[in-house]
Amino acid sequence: MKKRIAIYGSTGSIGTQALDVISQHPKLFQVEILSAHSNASLLIEQSLKFEPNMVIISDEKKYEEVNNALASKGIKVFAGEQSLIELAASDSYDVLLAAIVGYAGLSSTLAAAEQGKTIALANKETLVVAGDLVTETLKQKGARIIPVDSEHSAIFQCLVGEHHNPVSKVILTASGGPFLGKKPNFLINVKKDHALQHPNWTMGAKITIDSASLMNKGLEMIEAKWLFGLQNEQIEVIIHPQSIIHSMVEFADGSVKAQMGLPDMKLPIQYALAFPDRLSNNWKRLSMKNYPSLTFEPADIKTFRNLALASQAMFTGGNAPCVLNAANEIVVDAFLKNKIGFLEMSDIIEKTLEKITFIEKPSLHDYVQTNQVARDYAQSLIK
């Protein structure tokens, strides 16, 4: 039986690479659902190639374009955010690859969890914003998350067969991005074109900026807490410029396991879709002869304050990570539009964290409200 795959965010970086993986294993996977926000042309192209049963275009203004292109193929076309939630709660697929960027991915991922689905999670913001609610739903409904982020996939792989053994800590590795070693007097002048030039990874614009500011690693800390049931003190970040070791787990006896590989997102995507099997492929392999030296150094949290702010939000708990994420999505968008500078992103996030009312045990309604209020306040700080 083929696994039926729903890809939410099929036109983004993760989605397009997932389709590359699926195309290499046509006997194992069947594309059941594809979704995109507004990239109608690429969604149409993907749908004509992979022939899903259903597609969703979130931007309702693009519905007619997509429907007209696919109607003769018998592909059902839906539009709007509510359609994402309804199809995520349907029985038509086996694995949901949750690759919608940002807060927008929360509601559909929760809907899938409510139905006990297997979720290949590439949207870290879902657990950052509402990790307590998501993990409680997973337990109650028997749903399962298999992480797609390279760092969390690495931890997941290191823990296979080790679930009865106590973990001392996990060590998330960070490349340091394009500005590794730079100081504020340099960063004050950088523009988006420079920040988008990641030295190792090919990713979408939002996550690439997050990587440059180290916010990505801060969000990953919070995600790891919920994914693996960790205490805040058990999560460590270290800079590893080569991006060969994707993360590490230290066990109670002091031994450390690491997962290694070339920086290629197709590997963790394939692992998540095929789990528990490992599939062969023709991708370039890691040769240690090409990496005679792997180096590590502490993160510079005085310069890259986003990592410190994320850690602060993690330790504060409650709705603080939701505030952090909301403010970050606003400032990254503003930076990409050249409305604010690179260092101003941290200033606005910090002010937003200080301004928004703290809620220790938020409900889903509280998270929705917090997200909106934090976005509005952060936006008000952008001139």
DSSP H helices, the chain, are 13-24, 40-50, 63-70, 81-88, 106-114, 125-141, 150-159, 184-187, 192-195, 205-213, 215-228, 266-274, 305-316, 320-336, 344-355, 364-380
Amino acid at 169: K
User: What is the assigned CATH class of domain 317-383?
Assistant: mainly alpha
CATH 3.40.50.720 in the chain: give the residue spans: 3-147
Separation of alpha carbons 306 and 350, rounded Å: 9
The bridge status of strand 95-98 relative to strand 235-239 is unpaired
For 21, the token pair is 């993986």
Residue 45's pLDDT is what?
98
Residue 335's pLDDT is what?
97
With H, G, I as helix, E, B as strand and everything else as coil, classify residue 209. Answer: helix
Residue 203's pLDDT is what?
78
The bridge status of strand 256-260 relative to strand 245-251 is antiparallel
Residue 383's pLDDT is what?
81
Separation of alpha carbons 33 and 42, rounded Å: 14
Residue 220's pLDDT is what?
97
Residue 314's pLDDT is what?
98
Residue 344's pLDDT is what?
97
Residue 173's pLDDT is what?
98
For domain 3-147, the CATH superfamily is NAD(P)-binding Rossmann-like Domain (3.40.50.720)
Separation of alpha carbons 129 and 135, rounded Å: 12
**pLDDT < 70 positions in the chain:** none
Length of the chain: 383
Return the closest-CA partner of residue 108 out of 128, 136, 66, 80.
80
Residues 226 and 132: beta-carbon distance below 8 Å: yes
Residue 59's pLDDT is what?
96
297: DSSP letter: B
Residue 171's pLDDT is what?
98
Long-range contacts from 329-332, C-beta under 8 angstroms, 24+ separation: 329/102, 329/103, 329/125, 329/206, 329/375, 330/375, 330/378, 330/379, 330/382, 331/378, 331/382, 332/206, 332/209, 332/210, 332/215
Amino acid at 85: I
CATH 1.10.1740.10 in the chain: give the residue spans: 317-383
- Report the first-to-last Cα separation within the chain, whole angstroms: 55
Separation of alpha carbons 147 and 129, rounded Å: 16
